[in-house]
Amino acid sequence: MRRKIVAGNWKMNGSKDLSEKLVGYVQAEAGSLDNGVEVVIIPPAIYIRDVLKQAEGAVSVGVQNVGQWQSGAYTGEISSEMAKDAGCDYVLVGHSERRQIFGETDELVAEKVALVVASGLTAIVCVGETLEERESGLAESVVSSQVRLGLSAVSSGDWKNIVVAYEPVWAIGTGKTATAEDAQAMHASIRSVLKEMGAPAEEISLLYGGSVKADNAAALFSESDIDGGLIGGASLDAKEFISICRYFPASS
């Protein structure tokens, strides 16, 4: 059985006040979700303690990034061991903003994934093509290569700690979403790449991200290879975020 996950990535947004109000609402509502969805909140690292306290165990918590080392003289960095120590279950790795703004490569993603799974945390590994790549007909090959390289260091016992998030770069924060059919086609392609890599592909959760909102979540989540969502902007609105969690069909 694949985990059904809706994860809210706050990016560099939020405050102590938002942590209290938003997480307070989500905590109160999460208990009434009857569709088996796991709700994850991924705030800026400095608010992890506040979110954990407010969530009272009703949601899981993740960190948006970790360094490629476990400790040492790397001012400003945090490690996956620290994320675990602080109470996180998830780590985002290779978000397109990390790739595009901070120059993260597939090789670096692979190093970080190895450290995250070694810490016993689950890596949500982000992949996705740019608009130019899609328009040139390269979307599938770009994503396939990101999956192969980014997950190249995962050993057979560690696949249970891997989630893949397909986030077309042109859909992030733009209001443009992939159609449910296009997203499903890419998810099916990712699952076949995972199979070729020897991974237990049917057991790995694949999330879609990129302008997911309450009004498009139901169509996306009803596709057979879409096991949840990675939500940016809409996760900063408590009601919208919970609505997205509710759109998960109970039967899938």
Q: Does 226 bind ligand PGA (CB under 6 A)?
A: no
Q: Does 232 bind ligand PGA (CB under 6 A)?
A: yes
Unique residue bearing structure tokens 């909102």: 213
List, as one string, the DSSP characters of 97-121.
Answer: HHHHHH---HHHHHHHHHHHHHTTP
Amino acid identity for residue 80 in this structure: S
Q: Does 169 bind ligand PGA (CB under 6 A)?
A: no
Unique residue bearing structure tokens 């050993």: 155
- φ, ψ for residue 144, nearest 5 deg: -60, -40
Whether 95 sits among the annotated catalytic residues: the reply is: yes
Residue 82: strand, helix, or coil: helix
- φ, ψ for residue 213, nearest 5 deg: -135, 175
Which of 233, 244, 246, 247 touches ligand PGA (CB under 6 A)? 233
**Burial class of residue 139 in the structure, from the number of CB atoms within 10 Å of its CB (0-12 exposed, 13-18 middle, 19+ buried):** buried
Whether 187 sits among the annotated catalytic residues: the reply is: no
Q: Does 168 bind ligand PGA (CB under 6 A)?
A: no
Residues 7-46, mask of contacts with ligand PGA (x by CB under 6 A)? --x-------------------------------------
CA dist., res. 120 & res. 198, Å (int): 21
Which of 158, 167, 227, 240 touches ligand PGA (CB under 6 A)? 167
Binding window for ligand PGA (CB under 6 A); candidates: 31-39, 65-73, 110-118, 227-235: 227-235
Residues with catalytic annotation? Answer: 95, 167
Residues at the interface with ligand PGA (CB under 6 A): 9, 167, 172-173, 209-212, 230-234
